[in-house]
Amino acid sequence: MQKSWFYEEYGPKEVLKLGELPIPTPRHGQLLVQVKAAALNPIDSKMRQKPIVPADFPVVPGCDMAGVVIAKGSGISKFIVGDEVYGNIQDFSKEGGVKKNGTLSEFIVVEEDLVALKPINVSFEEAASLPVAIQTAMEGFKTAGFKEGQSVFVVGGAGGVGSLVVQLAKCFYGACEVVVTTSTSKVEFVKSLGATKVVDYTRTRYEELAEKYDLVYDTIGDSKNSFVLAKENAPVIDIAWPPSNPRAIHSSLTVSGQVLDKIRPYLECGKLRAVIDPKGPFHFHDVIAAFRYLETGRARGKVVISPFPSRRLSSIFKNGTSQDF
């Protein structure tokens, strides 16, 4: 058995319980990973409050994780036992892709193609903060058909997705100008991410800005207002569903370890960095407090859970080493 956070009914964060559930067994094409860190996402709260797909209780929340491969099913070719990996284990776009056993457990199973090797210079906590946010951020640029040398206006540049959109715009997509909105206390932080100009939304309204942009990338679901900053016929990306403006294009994410492989060089050379909210990481036993903070909508970067319970492999495998299943 393993320690897990789970819920057996829909509702607020208080329905979460810390208890014991069976350690899963990896099937063909799956890895068994000992979780070292996980990150929370708004979708975790939404799924707990209202079913996106019918639930088979108990449900363990969580999409993002980083950890160590301790066993593998048949047909695995990319990873070996002992590899440090990270990824988003939930694929909402695929039928049957949503797992009831999410990442807020000591051990999880995940398909080989959903994870990537963790960059050596990135901690487990930093790695766990990246998958959903980076996959969402990159999908928006792809959906918009963004081209090198174009300008982008980012709504909400300090959040989990926004902080990566700002960085990617310059270092990965070659934007000529990255203008970003945030609150007064986060202006300097957003500048440090590479924004060429920062707009304090508590002091300036969209209508007061004269310049128009090749892409408006809205990470907070305010496209009903932010669309005024797009050039004529320029795309407006809104990661919220449904978008608050009919003109906006909803962008979700492509769940794949290949997406994470693409950004590995940028992480290893320091051009791209993970952003963890300074109030964290939250301990595994403080998951309810972490959700309470996430749901304020005030996090800077990602809300991360770490450390997780840790035990020797010998307590799971009789000979002290993991084997193929």
User: Which pLDDT score, from 0 to 100, does residue 319 have?
Assistant: 43
User: Which pLDDT score, from 0 to 100, does residue 321 have?
Assistant: 43
Tokens, residue 212 = 């128009």
Q: Please say if the pLDDT value at position 283 is more than 90.
A: yes
Parse the chain into domains and list their residue ranges.
Answer: 2-130+274-315, 132-250
Q: Please say if the pLDDT value at position 323 is more than 60.
A: no
Q: Please say if the pLDDT value at position 278 is more than 60.
A: yes
Q: Which CATH number fits domain 132-250: 2.30.30.60, 3.40.50.11540, 3.40.50.720, 3.30.470.20?
A: 3.40.50.720
* pLDDT band at residue 325 using 50, 70 and 90 as cut-offs: low
CA angle 296, 299, 302 (to 5 degrees): 125
pLDDT tens across 2-12, in order? 999 999 999 99
CA gap 271, 248 in Å, rounded:
30
Same fold, 2-130+274-315 and 132-250: no
pLDDT tens across 13-45, in order? 999 999 999 999 999 999 999 999 999 999 999
pLDDT tens across 127-169, in order? 999 999 999 999 999 999 999 999 999 999 999 999 999 999 9
CA gap 110, 101 in Å, rounded:
10
CA angle 165, 169, 174 (to 5 degrees): 165
Q: Which residue has the tokens 């693409």?
A: 262
Q: Please say if the pLDDT value at position 324 is more than 80.
A: no
Helix (H, G, I), strand (E, B) or coil at 145: coil
Beta bridge partners of 199: 181
User: Which pLDDT score, from 0 to 100, does residue 314 have?
Assistant: 54
Q: Please say if the pLDDT value at position 193 is more than 70.
A: yes
* pLDDT band at residue 313 using 50, 70 and 90 as cut-offs: low
Averaged pLDDT of the chain: 92
User: Which pLDDT score, from 0 to 100, does residue 80 have?
Assistant: 96
Domain 2-130+274-315 carries which CATH code? 3.90.180.10
Q: Please say if the pLDDT value at position 251 is more than 90.
A: no
CA 299 to chain CA mean position, Å:
13
